[in-house]
Amino acid sequence: MNYRHEFHAGNHSEVFKHALLCALIDRLQLKPRPICVVDTHAGSGLYDLESPEAAMTGEADRGIRLVYPKRTRALQRYLGVVEHFNPDRLRFYPGSPAIVRHMLRRDDRLVACESEPGPVARLKDFIGGDSRAAVHQRDGFAAVYAFVPPKERRGLVFMDPPFEDPDELALAAEALNSGLRKWPTGTYALWYPIKGRSQINKLRKLVVAEVPTFCVEFLAYAKSQEGLIGSGVVIFNPPWQYEKDVHAICKALQPIFEGTGSGYSTEWWVRPS
């Protein structure tokens, strides 16, 4: 599958993973020490939901435009970030680097990596002169080798690959194994699309690190057997009580997609000791 943010901005999987991302950062920021977020596949930063690419798929109509009016407590933090970029009406959707940058504290830091020149240029324009954020044009998986561990020794590696390569999960597992060897106390989150049957069991077999590992999958369109029916996120070293946030977010999203057979599942691959 080829997952390009310009075409899929604001769809149900973006809503799901970015709500989880906001909760992850909130949990990490409960402690005063600075954090670093390494965003391995950052994209452009901000997406126009009225662009030709977004209009071609119309996926935001079945994603953020459904969720945006639902200001439940579990979604309030995430939707508040989206609202920051839309003071008048919902037109722009923030990608992961925009979300992270908005949530950074004074001493926190963002390392945003993207391999494509066009998105890199747009992301640099978006970041501007913010000294807390740096944009690097490089392979996202290689970024894990390059930037882990960060000097802060606290934070998150957020992996959101486009899944263009049939071996993408194997590449992700290799990067995760390397990162966890170098920075075993860091938090890592890998998003993956579910199209038909999930292949995430392959990742489970390939990642060898025995750290607390939590997996959540949300199906927005379980009644459909075609296209992107849902997505999942695997979190290595999740922050304390993050599981509660995950359940609250999924329970808030589920009734919004109730008519299309929504559902979610969670599983501890490795429980905390």
Q: What is the pLDDT of residues 82-116, one digit of tens each?
A: 999 999 999 999 999 999 999 999 999 999 999 99
Q: What is the pLDDT of residues 21-38, one digit of tens each?
A: 999 999 999 999 999 999
The arithmetic mean of pLDDT across residues 140-157, rounded, is 96
Query: Which CATH number covers residue 256?
Result: 3.40.50.150
Selecting among 61, 160, 165, 167, the annotated active-site residue is 160
pTM of the entire structure?
A: 0.95
Count CB neighbours of 121 within 10 A: 14
Does residue 198 register a pLDDT over 70? Answer: no
The rounded distance, in Å, linking the Cα atoms of 263 and 260 is: 10
Does residue 269 register a pLDDT over 60? Answer: yes
**Domains of the chain: total:** 1
The arithmetic mean of pLDDT across residues 149-172, rounded, is 91
Does residue 4 register a pLDDT over 80? Answer: no
Whether 160 is a known active-site residue: answer yes
Does residue 208 register a pLDDT over 90? Answer: no
Tell me the chain's radius of gyration from C-alpha atoms.
Answer: 17
Does residue 257 register a pLDDT over 80? Answer: yes
Strand order in the sheet with 263-270: 133-137, 109-114, 36-39, 155-159, 187-194, 230-236, 213-219, 263-270
Residue 256 domain boundaries: 5-270
The arithmetic mean of pLDDT across residues 245-259, rounded, is 94
Would you state the pLDDT for residue 2? Answer: 42
The rounded distance, in Å, linking the Cα atoms of 181 and 178 is: 5
